[in-house]
A and B are shown apart, each in its own frame.
Chain A
Amino acid sequence: MESLPPTRDDSYSAALVIEFRQVGKTYRSLLGNSVKAVEEFSLQVAEGEIFGIAGPNGAGKTTLIAMMLGYLRPTAGTVEIKGLPARTYVERNGIGYLSELIAINPKWRADTALVRYATLAGIPSSQIPARVDAVIEKLGLAEHRDKKVKALSKGNLQRLGLAQALLREEQILVLDEPTHGLDPVWTQRFRGIVDELRRPDRTILIASHNLDELQRLADRVAIIDHGRLQRVVSTGFDHTHRAATRYRLTLASGHERMRESFPLAEEAGKGEYDVTVGSIKELNTALADLISRGGLVASVVPERSVLEQQFREAVGESQ
């Protein structure tokens, strides 16, 4: 699998939108203790990309996002959006932002909270009701619109947070753990919403520790650990990748032929086998052999996604 360097490469010719340049953030206590949350972090994100940030808990994802929105000042380096200091860009243009912790005044009603945010976002007064109705409809909040924020369930609060981020047609969207608290139905719908949001002139940044989600949604993913960029991974499939990969293979029939094609296959029960191959070509050759011998293959699923493999290599099996 291709691991792109942290700096911008030639394959991304679209305009540069977000740039972290040698960014560091150190928290210092009054007693003089210090904790390095982010170190020497450089990254470039291009226009039109859906870019993921993955890392274990405490890796520095949220700190990076806070610096990108200008809520935190880096202790080293710079963060720029479209050539402007991050906070200056946000103050001038705004960003659609869904934070990991949804903090909305609990005394506000769901719909009036959206009206307030729409006002601050600069949506003309005459358009606010229609825009609020649209995001309420999109996020399935119609039956909760009259409720106070404190009366919303975690999932509904998450959807309200997403609704306020989608009020305006933003050029940049930053979604921090966007499916946190969503049920499986809304997790699926969220993926559809992100697909709809993809536009050549829009950049979407998604921070998550859900690798499956990032594998599905993002074009590239930065893997960070201990505040450092470990690698940037393209989530598309790379057939030249040569590392050993483990697959779970389910057979409908032809079990007796299995070992002839996959001598090292391990039985996993219920007609399933774990096989390890060195490349896609090797997998396909062995599968063709199995089918030609009368085996009926029901499914072949990689044990780990491309991103997961990269993540484990970068962060370590212990994570």
Chain B
Amino acid sequence: MSYARLARYSSWQFRDFIMERGIAIVIIGMLWGYLLVEPMRRAMGSAFAAGPSSPTWPLVITVASSVVSLSVLIALNGIVSTDRKMGYYRFLFSKPISAVAYYAQLFFVYMAGVLFSMLLLSGILHMVVPDFSIFNFLLYAALIYIAMGGIGFFVSVATRFDWLTLAAVWVGSRVLRDVYGAKPGWRSKAVELLPPVHKLTEVSTSLITDGTAHAGDVLWLAGYGALFFALGLFILRRGSLAD
């Protein structure tokens, strides 16, 4: 019964996503893409659209993957913490619904919203670069949403400064892996516990280009995010909504 109520409410959640985040994601994605891709396209003319063999393909991959990361950051920002900071939880959860189910649903509704936004953006990019596969790009976006979004969800449950914390964790993990990952000793083992951001470059290139990726990398990324998502739900179940 509670799940039926929540399912009916998902249309409101999706609408909120579009109005408060989706439009912003599409505008930022278009600006970002235009500023980086358009000068190159003008300079190279028809050679630009040559697909993976083009020297500009890595740039297209970089732009596309960074738009996904930025979108996930925007989508997950305050997904739980805003309701707690602003006190919106008070009326929401006096109704006969579970906070855990509510936020789990919200996470997946926002995932649908991110994928919808990525569909629009990749559709535009596909018009400029016909070899750019919308389907492959959406696969990559879904993977990154789970990997990065799972951690973002956990951070939003655990802290009030989730956007900053998630960005710091994401960038910090990358830096620490670059610095200590190849060195001998306990530090290289310790950084293995950090989010597997070092696998992103390889995964983004192969997944967006030809729709394949090393299964271990995909599992590691998705598993890491899923674990933190589950941890976030566990804290929601066991902890307090109010401060």
**Residues of A participating in the B interface, judged by any CB pair closer than 8 Å:** 66, 69-73, 90-97, 99, 101, 103-105, 107, 116-117, 119-122, 125, 161, 164-165, 174
Contacts and interface: CB of A to CB of B under 8 A. Distances in A.
B2 interface: yes
Interface string B9-43: 10010000001100000000000000000000000
A71 B90 contact: yes
A5 to B, nearest CB: 29
Contact of A120 (B20, B95, B242): B95
A119 B97 CA distance: 11
Nearest to B6: A120
Contacts of B20: 107
B239 interface: yes
Interface centre among A93, A94, A95 (most CB of B within 10 A): A94
A91 B96 contact: yes
Nearest to B88: A103
B5 A122 contact: yes
* Interface bin, chain B: 20 to 34
27 contacts: A69-B93, A70-B93, A70-B241, A71-B90, A71-B93, A90-B93, A90-B94, A92-B2, A94-B95, A95-B94, A97-B90, A97-B94, A99-B91, A103-B88, A103-B91, A104-B91, A105-B86, A116-B9, A117-B92, A117-B95, A120-B9, A120-B95, A121-B95, A121-B96, A122-B1, A161-B91, A165-B94
A220 B33 CA distance: 66
B187 to A, nearest CB: 27
B97 A71 contact: no
Nearest to B8: A119
Interface in B194-243: 239-242
Contacts of A66: 242
B87 interface: yes
B91 A71 contact: no
Contacts of B91: 97, 99, 103-104, 117, 161, 164
Nearest to A172: B94
Given A71-B240, A72-B242, A99 B98 contact: no
Given A71-B89, A122-B5, A161-B91, A94 B96 contact: yes
Contacts of A96: 94
B104 to A, nearest CB: 14
B239 to A, nearest CB: 7
A104 B96 contact: no
Contacts of B242: 66, 71-72
Nearest to B94: A97
Contacts, number: 79
A125 B4 CA distance: 12
A295 B34 CA distance: 93
Interface centre among A120, A165, A174 (most CB of B within 10 A): A120
B96 A122 contact: yes
Given A66-B242, A71-B241, A119-B12, A101 B87 contact: yes
Nearest to B242: A71
Contacts of B2: 91-92
B14 to A, nearest CB: 13
A99 B241 CA distance: 14
Interface in B81-112: 86-98
B8 A125 contact: yes
Nearest to A69: B94
Contacts of A125: 8
Nearest to A120: B95
Given A91-B96, A116-B9, A122-B1, A99 B87 contact: yes
Contacts of A99: 87, 90-91
A165 B86 CA distance: 19
A60 to B, nearest CB: 13
Nearest to A118: B95
Interface in B144-158: none
Interface centre among B91, B93, B97 (most CB of A within 10 A): B91
Contacts of A69: 90, 93-94
Contacts of B86: 103, 105
Nearest to B91: A164
Given A71-B90, A103-B90, A91 B98 contact: yes
B125 to A, nearest CB: 31
Contacts of B87: 99, 101, 103
Nearest to A122: B5
A70 to B, nearest CB: 8
Nearest to A121: B95
Contact of B97 (A104, A120, A161, A174): A120
Contacts of B241: 70-72
A35 to B, nearest CB: 12
A72 to B, nearest CB: 5
Contacts of A72: 240-242
Given A71-B90, A99-B90, A103-B91, 15 more contacts: A69-B90, A69-B94, A71-B93, A72-B242, A90-B93, A90-B96, A97-B90, A97-B94, A101-B87, A104-B91, A105-B88, A116-B9, A120-B97, A121-B95, A161-B91
